Each structure stands twice: as C-alpha cells, then as structure tokens.
Amino acid sequence: PDVAELDARISVCRACPRLVEWRETVATQGRRASFADQPYWGRPGPGFGEPQAEVLVVGLAPAANGTNRTGRMFTGDRSGDWLYAALHRAGYASQPQSWASGDGLLLHGIRIIAAVRCAPPANKPTTVEKVACAHWLDRDLELAAPGLRSMLALGSIAWDATLGSARRLGWEVPRPKPRFGHAAEAILTTAGGRAVRLVGSYHVSQQNTFTGKLTEAMLDAAIARLRLAP
C-alpha cells in the first residue's frame, strides 16, 4: 500500500481487545470535562506529516485525551505542545501549536508515527500489544525507506520498537544492540543500502518535561542531529 492506504488500514485496526475497549470507553464515557462537548476520534492514530518524509518521528502511543480525541498524532495535549514547538523551532512544522486536526498545521519533510497506535491505559501497552502493533511500524519504515535519512525515537519503547522493525525488514543494525538514552545514536542501513541515523530522545511526556528531565535545549539538540548526513 501507499502511505494513505496504510493510514486508512491502521485507523480501523481492532487487533487488541483491551485497547479497543479502552479507546472506545474513553471516547464515549471517559471524556475529560473540558472536552465533554467534543466528538472523540476513539480509534487508532494514523501517521501525520509528509508521505515521503526524510525524517520519521516515532512516539510511544496516543494519549487518551490527545490523539484519541483529535485523531492526529500528538495533537491536543501537553506532549504535543512540547514536540510541535520544537519541530517549529527546527523548521519542520509550520506553526508551534497543534490543537485540532483542522488547525492548518503542516509538516515539512517529517512524518510522525508511534510504536503503538491505540491509547493504552496508564500509557502502558502490554508486551502482547506492542508485538501486535509492530507490523504497522514495519510497514511505515518500509514505505519510508527509499527516501529516509533519519529517525527520532521518543523514549525507550519507541527506540526498541524501531530497532525491532529495522531487523525484521532486513536492515543492518549494529551489534550489540544500541542502548537507548537521550541523544543516543545508531546508524542503520536499510535493505536498499541506505544509511539512516537513529536518534534517541527522552519522551516529551509531562513526567519528563515538568521535572526537567527533558529540557527544550536537550530536545532541540536531539532534533538538530536529524539533519546531519548519516
């Protein structure tokens, strides 16, 4: 499939019973009071950005009242405020905010996806759910591979999922397995022989940004690495 078809298929996936129930329960009964008058997406989050992007950003999973509400990656929550402000500073996003799918935001040269596409309770997907969703990530990496230059993994789950997809696709991955850390890097080689820089960053979750574990300068520095030649 092409990217549009892939996104359409992802958005109707029902492979994980626990997550299907959670995403739909939040959407129908568990809405945050401030969003009570809004329709919720309540489905898996498709990718967002340019179809043939040089850069992939891999998040963990949609937030219950963020992507699961708006239907767009990192849209309508605090994590997204951080991520899009940084992408705007780096020239990848047309505006620093992302509050709704019709807000006019455009991304340049970048596509945002996630290791798991449905909002998990407590932001914690199970191992079985991570495995179930991995094939969607495989397809995203496969479609991006011919023009891919770099990838940003937000958090260790995204880092591990990305390396797992790369291996399944027959890409060369350094051994021993590169360890996740903020600003960790690894050079992967696609099945077509293209070098791709994988950069790690602490996730833009409130847990990290409120506590100062991840600062704007740290995030900017990780994003700046994406433009370097692999």
- Chain contacts with ligand SF4 (rule: CB under 6 A): 10, 13-16, 19-20, 44, 116-118, 129, 132-133, 136
Q: Select 123 or 189, whichever has its Cβ closest to ligand SF4.
A: 123
Q: Select 197 or 203, whichever has its Cβ closest to ligand SF4.
A: 203
Residue 114 pairs in a beta bridge with: 59
* Cα angle for residues 57, 60, 63 (degrees, 5° grid): 110
Distance CA 11, CA 75 (A): 16
Joined together, the tokens standing for residue 113 give 């996806």
The minimum distance between CB 225 and ligand SF4, in angstroms, equals: 28
The minimum distance between CB 15 and ligand SF4, in angstroms, equals: 4
* Number of residues written out for the chain: 230
Q: Select 20 or 187, whichever has its Cβ closest to ligand SF4.
A: 20
Indicate the angle between helix axes 216-224 and 78-89, nearest 10 degrees. 50
Q: Select 14 or 32, whichever has its Cβ closest to ligand SF4.
A: 14
The minimum distance between CB 74 and ligand SF4, in angstroms, equals: 16
Closest CA relative to residue 221, chosen from 181, 183, 190, 186: 183
The minimum distance between CB 109 and ligand SF4, in angstroms, equals: 25
